[in-house]
Amino acid sequence: FRYYSYGWDQTPGAQGPMPYTLAAENDLLIAEGLARTGGDLGRAATLINKTRVTRGGLTPALAGDGATKLLQYIAYENDIELMCTGANGLSERRRIDNLQPGTPRHLPVPAKELETLALPLYTFGGPTNLTGK
């Protein structure tokens, strides 16, 4: 994988330089901001294409694709380009409301805490009871 020297099976592990925030993450955040606020879609497409075309070998994103399509490209690039770079997967999917059905959005409050607060115990209900009621 990308930062092999940080693997659990390396001796010594977690040695050497590793970026805290990748340039690609920053580019995709800027592109998303532009797409969501009616900003310069040409600049957004250029930022997306830094990874989409250069590393991914995909067809270029274009301003003419529109904001909705650019946001789809951004979601894909986040999944592919930022994989294994932190807690990005779950938090990103939760942020854009793209979790699989039945996946909890939050960790539940522990039963002991609910009992201490004299609140009723609850469940998320699993995939057959998505309302949690």
Q: Cα–Cα distance between 116 and 77 in angstroms, integer? A: 44
Q: What is the mean pLDDT of residues 73-90?
A: 80
Rounded CA-CA distance 92/87 in Å is 8
The CB-side HSE value for 50 (13 A sphere, CA atoms) comes to 19
Predicted confidence (pLDDT) at residue 70 exceeds the cutoff of 70: yes
The pTM score is 0.69
One-letter amino acid at 25 equals: E
Helices (H) and strands (E) in the chain, counts: 5, 0
d(Cα 26, Cα 35) in Å, to the nearest integer?
Answer: 14
